[in-house]
Copies of this chain bind each other. A is one copy, B any other.
Amino acid sequence: MNIREIARRARVSHSTVSRVINEVQSVDPKLARRVRAVIDEVGYRPNFQARALARGRSHTVGLVVSELSGGNPFFSEIILYFERAAVQQGYEVLISFADTETQPDHIAVCVARMQERQVEGVAVLTFGMEEQLAKCAIDVPVVYAGADHDLRGVRFVRINYLPGFRDAVRHLAEFGHERIGYLSGRLGWSSMRTRFDSLRRAMKLASVPFDKDLVAECDHTWDGGAEGMRTLLNLPKPPSAVLCCNDVAAVGALKALAARGIQAGRDIALIGFDDLTICRFTQPALSTIQFSPRELAALAFQGLLEEIQQTPKKTNLEYKTRFILRDSTCPPRLLGADGLREVIRTP
């Protein structure tokens, strides 16, 4: 069923049908009604591919996220809210997971595939591997999220990690913590690197000494967090408080703590990052630094839309993190020569 067939049945030309579909006002109401009747009767729906071809606009955008994060609820929410924003503006979204682990240039591959599909723009929300983009020629509006490494003038959501870390560290400092540890994630990922840098700046601001031995560079996954926490606990003098690069790792860390009979919020202070829903349901509820996928996704789409439409005045795309206090922190405990050692069951 196409526009010509509708035209035939309504005894008008196909251009008239086209006008009716596109709500061009100049059509005679009677004709319009006749056309609409036929359209409803046969259940006709225009072919967007053809329309896109003719108009040169696909009304489709791409979203690339990181495959490693498949089981991470953070990304599931990113996708949800991005799609919602897109649909609201009449866009459809093509999704793609970039396997940055085994294929360094996979992001570029995904973007290229989307370009062939004539997307009008693509949001790359991989949080840390987008440098790859700089290497290849991409001639479609792109937006990504990161801290401040301006990539060839590409638009990005500037993520300000400092406020969250500053308040978190301040909170720990008020408790008297002096040995603050960190589960860093892979520092090869730029967003992990930046989180780490922000933490150090926050510590400097709060005059808390930084000790690189208290940093465990682990995967930012459930298992990675557990592994990292075990590493810290095996230190001669473990930290009295630990921050994490994300909530998923923090939950893993909780597991490692529990395995040794250590309870966060009583024996050690633990702070996550992201503010996933699950934070409210861990035992104890996890204090964290909020990094709302909802707002982030909305900002990213907004930025992308402005790039696509070449809007002159641009929204300030800055996302500020903030500290969320729950129950997983406490004053330093048993800070003798052996640090936490006393409460740790021998493994």
Please list the residues of chain A having a beta carbon within 8 angstroms of any beta carbon in chain B: 43, 45-50, 52-53, 58, 60, 63, 67, 69-73, 75-77, 79-81, 83-84, 87, 92-97, 112-118, 137, 222, 226, 251-252, 254-255, 258, 276-278, 280-281, 283
The residue from B117, B277, B283 contacting A283, defined by CB atoms under 8 A apart: B283
- B residues less than 8 Å from A71 (CB atoms): 73, 76-77, 276-277
With contacts A97-B84, A137-B43 taken as known, whether A50 is within 8 angstroms of B48 at the C-beta atoms is no
Q: Nearest chain-B residue to A117 (Cβ)? A: B48
Q: Nearest chain-B residue to A259 (Cβ)? A: B283
The residue from B77, B114, B255, B277 contacting A281, defined by CB atoms under 8 A apart: B255
Contact A258 B276, beta carbon cutoff 8 Å: no
The residue from B67, B222, B281 contacting A80, defined by CB atoms under 8 A apart: B67
A221 → chain B closest CB, angstroms:
9
A86 → chain B closest CB, angstroms:
10
- For the complex, give the distance between the alpha carbons of A93 and B165 in Å: 37
- B residues less than 8 Å from A112 (CB atoms): 45
- B residues less than 8 Å from A115 (CB atoms): 45
A304 → chain B closest CB, angstroms:
16
A112 → chain B closest CB, angstroms:
7
- B residues less than 8 Å from A60 (CB atoms): 94, 117
Q: Nearest chain-B residue to A255 (Cβ)? A: B281
With contacts A222-B280, A281-B251, A281-B255 taken as known, whether A45 is within 8 angstroms of B116 at the C-beta atoms is yes
| Further contacts, 11 of them, CB under 8 A, given A45-B115, A67-B84 | A45-B116, A47-B53, A63-B95, A69-B76, A70-B81, A76-B76, A79-B95, A92-B96, A92-B113, A222-B278, A258-B283
